[in-house]
Structure formats: C-alpha cells, structure tokens
Amino acid sequence: MLITLYGIPNCDTIKKARKWLETQAIEYQFHDYRKNGITPELVNEFFQSLGWEKVLNKRGTTYRQLSQEQKESLNEANALALLLEQPAMIKRPILRVKETLYLGFTPQQYSELFS
C-alpha cells in the first residue's frame, strides 16, 4: 500500500503522526514541502479532494500575519498562489493512502483508517 504523509518536519502534529505510523510499523513516504517542493497540481488535488477552505491553515502564524484585506479577499485562486508561496499555510498533515487524501491527525482517526 502506497502511503504518503505531506507536511513540514518541525510541525508538532506531523511529528505525532510520524511517530504513530512508525510505532504501528506502517511504511510511508514523507513529502517535505520545503525539501521536495509543491506544485500547483498537488495543491489543486488537495483543494478538489478536501476543499480549499479546509486545506488553508487559518490557525498558524503565517495566516495571522496576513493583512485583513488579504484574509477577506481569499478565494480558491488566490489561496492557491498563497499556498504555493507559503506552504506552511497548508493544514497538516495531509495523508495519502492509495488514491484517497485525509486531513489532520488523531490516533483514533489513524487507527480506524489502518484497521
């Protein structure tokens, strides 16, 4: 089974998800947005599967640093450009299991997914 975990390595939630996968002896690939890059096609796939508003991390410091005007004018098109420029604004983690994408991490969610 092909499993890819997308994110940035210093994110606490990514660390928890990776630890959970490793503890369960589940093989996966880690796609680091900063090292491996990110493409418009990948972000569009996230948007189509999960919804652009859910993919955009509004709780992070990068989002909070946006001007009020930027926040109010967000739409799918400019969110795409913003996430390509600032991949830390992509909600984490995104997990691909075969062809399906999942957003977020809780031990219960992953237990159900891999049971």
Give the whole-angstrom CA distance, residue 68 versus residue 21.
38
Catalytic site includes residue 27: no
What CATH number does residue 65 fall under? Answer: 3.40.30.10
The number of beta carbons lying within 10 Å of the beta carbon of residue 77 is 9
* Alpha-carbon span 96 to 90, nearest angstrom: 15
Q: Which domain holds residue 77?
A: 3-114
Number of domains in the chain: 1
Please check the confidence at residue 1 and state whether its pLDDT lies above 80.
Answer: no
- Enumerate residues 6+ apart whose C-beta is below 8 A from 31: 4, 5, 6, 7
Give the separation between CA 12 and CA 18, rounded to whole angstroms: 10
Catalytic residue among 3, 4, 8, 11: 11
pLDDT tens profile 29-86: 999 999 999 999 999 999 999 999 999 999 988 899 999 999 999 999 999 999 999 9
